[in-house]
Structure 1
Amino acid sequence: MITANKIEKIVKTGVLHALYREDGGWYHHLKRFPGALFDYHGYVLFETKEDYDNNPSLIHRQDLNVKNGISSLPNYRKFVTEEIKQIESLKSTSKKIIISERKILNIIKSDLDSIEEENSNHFEGGTKKRMISYYERNQKLRAKAIKIHGTTCKVCQFNFKDNYGVHGEDYIEVHHLVPIHTLTKSTKVNPETDMIVVCSNCHRMIHRNKYQQLAIEELIKLRNDVINSV
């Protein structure tokens, strides 16, 4: 898995705090300086907090947005060939890490038990409700979807482990691309093409209008439009 600390060991910038985002467009805030923002192809150094706070291309909110990505900044430095090879090896290694299906099933069961307790009145009687309940809570379908799609949100790239450590490890929500309430009979679901993984925030935004859920592409566009409009 690629992290800022692993890249720093390769590039050796000597910074006190570094953050990594593959697309270079969104980060948490740097808290110690000198600091560095890494993307998959290079990085930007900030010698002082003043340099960081006063950079006109950085949008300081609860998190940090970089309007056109850090590669657009004038002091952006691309990785050299040897650094690229080592970083590529980190990505290759991360792809080989496979979560066992049994472990995923145990995690999903625990997560769904928590949701069930929180929303104990959500599902009522009737064939339709039972069918919706079955598809939303089918553990094997969810486990297969996570094995295929991973645990990083496909809309905003949020990863629970990166943000919450061990407590967030292997957690992600699974979204049905075809609204379950539109199904009129039992239907075979393909976890690769009919399901996707998203964080809790993006999942709620997809379903905010229960009569017209957003497509993944629509939510990505909405999010990018907001980021690029500032």
Structure 2
Amino acid sequence: MQFECDKLLIEGKARTVAVNKYERSTIARRKCVEHYGATCQICGFNFGKQFGEIAEGFILVHHIKPLSEINEQYQVDPINDLIPLCANCHSVIHLKKPAIDINELKKIISSNTKGQ
């Protein structure tokens, strides 16, 4: 199937955007992954198993309560406040505001994969 369009589709222009960026503790991230492992705690995906050595140990770490909601510095607990997630689950969790609950996304996946 060929896409037809009368207009040129232009991308790549640079623009300046101001955003808040919240500092994250690399130590808390490491302790979270040491505790849970580098496997998504929602769907079980493991980058190392899928892609081999190049992705061994790769995983995103999700703040169960988003830093933007806390809106101040706080003492993070790597086991109770953070959870390792794959890129897909992490993206889906943030499709809604407030973020979708971890257990709710597990239920959604379970109900959509029954019988597969």
d(CA) in 2 for partners of 1:148, 1:184: 26
| Residue of 95, 103, 107 corresponding to 1:217 | 103
Q: Name the amino acid aligned to 1:175.
A: H
| Equivalence for 2:60 | 173
Q: What is the percentage of aligned positions where both structures have the same residue?
A: 30
Query: Equivalences for 1:57-206 in 2 at 5 Å?
Result: 124=19, 129-130=20-21, 132=22, 134-135=23-24, 138-206=25-93
Count how many residue pairs are aligned between Structure 1 and Structure 2: 101
Q: Name the amino acid aligned to 1:166.
A: E
Larger RCO: Structure 1 or Structure 2 (Cα < 8 Å, ≥ 6 residues apart)? 2
- Please report the RMSD computed on the Cα atoms of aligned residues, expressed in angstroms: 1.8
Flag the structure with larger Rg.
Answer: 1
d(CA) in 2 for partners of 1:122, 1:213: 23
Q: In terms of mean alpha carbon deviation, does 138-147 or 195-204 score higher?
A: 138-147
TM-score, with structure 1 as normaliser: 0.41
- Unmatched 5+ stretches in structure 2: 1-15
- Unmatched 5+ stretches in structure 1: 1-120
Q: Name the amino acid aligned to 1:226.
A: N
Note the alpha carbon deviations across 1:23-55, whole angstroms, 9 max, x for none: xxxxxxxxxxxxxxxxxxxxxxxxxxxxxxxxx
d(CA) in 2 for partners of 1:219, 1:150: 19
Note the alpha carbon deviations across 1:109-159, whole angstroms, 9 max, x for none: xxxxxxxxxxxx7763xxxx24x2x03xx3122111111111011111001
Q: Name the amino acid aligned to 1:206.
A: I
Extract structure 1 runs of 4+ deviating beyond 3 A. none
Higher strand share: 1
Higher helix share: 1
